[in-house]
Structure 1
Amino acid sequence: MNKPLFTGKSSLGKNPKEPSQRQLRVAEEVRHVLSDVFARTEFRNPELRDKRLTVTEVRMTPDLRNAIIYVVRLGASNVEELLPALRKAAPYLRSQLSQKLSLKFLPELRFQADTGLDYAAKIDVLLHQPEVLRDLDKED
């Protein structure tokens, strides 16, 4: 009887697409440091000056050399226009990470807009429309 060469699971029975505990732990530390930097730092770049940003999530690659940072702009939904400025500020942000974290390799930082909050707000508006509320009342 031939066994399949690859069943989609590692030898430990864990799904290989799920992040490891180390990835999750490092990602959370990176998120904390970057959130603190965004809250306390006055950026020289005029595109980032006086902009309130927060880091909602960080995802690390398995080798911990790349980090995808999901950011949201507080009080506004146009964070996409700040992504080029964040890419320019990445070397400075990496230097801040190096001062606060002790990692063998500092991850390359890639920024993406977190659209989850916008999507949730859109769903909330839809759920509060009179037509939907009327239909929800019928089910009760």
Structure 2
Amino acid sequence: MTRKSTQSGAKAPTQRMLRVGELIRHRIAELLARGELHDKVLASHVITIPEVRLSPDLKLATVYVMPLGGNDVKPVVEALARNKKYLRAAVAAALNLRYAPDLRFKEDKTFEEATRIDRLLDSPKVRQDIEKK
């Protein structure tokens, strides 16, 4: 049995990848909400973690983050990267995996993309095409 490929040629994530990614997301969000990381940048921001994507071998986790309001993304990503060792240990303790995945932090651009699409749909040219129908 093979997994379906997406349009880009990459294989769709397995149920295990999705489940482990969600567990990692919850654990990191919990640590941030409790203020367990003693970092001035992280303490001064409310951070959303909308998604965690795992590599097929579960050894690499890409954590997508966005500070509330979308401000100071770069300093927040850098602060999380500085605290990667602590976060990885906390994730390993919470999950029963053979290997704790290496964590990489990236800016989540889905909010930005959704806003761009909304603007396109609200443009006069698109509105004109919709009204013709």
TM-score by length of 2: 0.83
Residues 94-113 of structure 1 mapped to structure 2, 5 A cutoff: 94-113=88-107
Query: Contact (CA 8 Å) 2:64, 2:107: kept in 1 or not?
Result: yes
State the number of aligned residues: 128
Query: Contact (CA 8 Å) 1:48, 1:85: kept in 2 or not?
Result: yes
C-alpha distance in structure 2 between counterparts of 1:126 and 1:110, whole Å: 32
**Do structure 1's residue 37 and structure 2's residue 31 form an aligned pair?**
yes
Whichever structure has more helix as a proportion of its residues is 2
C-alpha distance in structure 2 between counterparts of 1:59 and 1:67, whole Å: 6
Supply the RMSD in Å over aligned alpha carbons.
2.0
C-alpha distance in structure 1 between counterparts of 2:101 and 2:108, whole Å: 20
Show CA shifts across 1:27-61 (max 9, x none).
11111111222222253222222211111111111
- For structure 2, list consecutive stretches of 5 or more residues without a partner in the other structure: 6-10
C-alpha distance in structure 2 between counterparts of 1:104 and 1:53, whole Å: 28
Give the CA deviation at 1:135: 3.0
Query: Contact (CA 8 Å) 1:42, 1:49: kept in 2 or not?
Result: no
Give the CA deviation at 1:124: 1.0
The counterpart of 2:74, out of the listed 72, 76, 80, is: 80
Residues 1-140 of structure 1 mapped to structure 2, 5 A cutoff: 12-15=1-4, 17-139=11-133
Query: Contact (CA 8 Å) 1:30, 1:58: kept in 2 or not?
Result: yes
Show CA shifts across 1:66-119 (max 9, x none).
111111122225423322111101111112213322211111100111101111
Give SS of 1:29's match. Answer: helix
Q: Using the TM superposition, name which of 28-37 and 111-120 deviates more.
A: 28-37
- Sequence identity, in percent? 38
Give SS of 1:55's match. Answer: strand
Give SS of 2:37's match. Answer: coil
C-alpha distance in structure 1 between counterparts of 2:77 and 2:96, whole Å: 26
C-alpha distance in structure 2 between counterparts of 1:15 and 1:108, whole Å: 26
C-alpha distance in structure 2 between counterparts of 1:136 and 1:81, whole Å: 42
- For structure 1, list consecutive stretches of 5 or more residues without a partner in the other structure: 1-11
C-alpha distance in structure 1 between counterparts of 2:65 and 2:50, whole Å: 6
TM-score by length of 1: 0.79
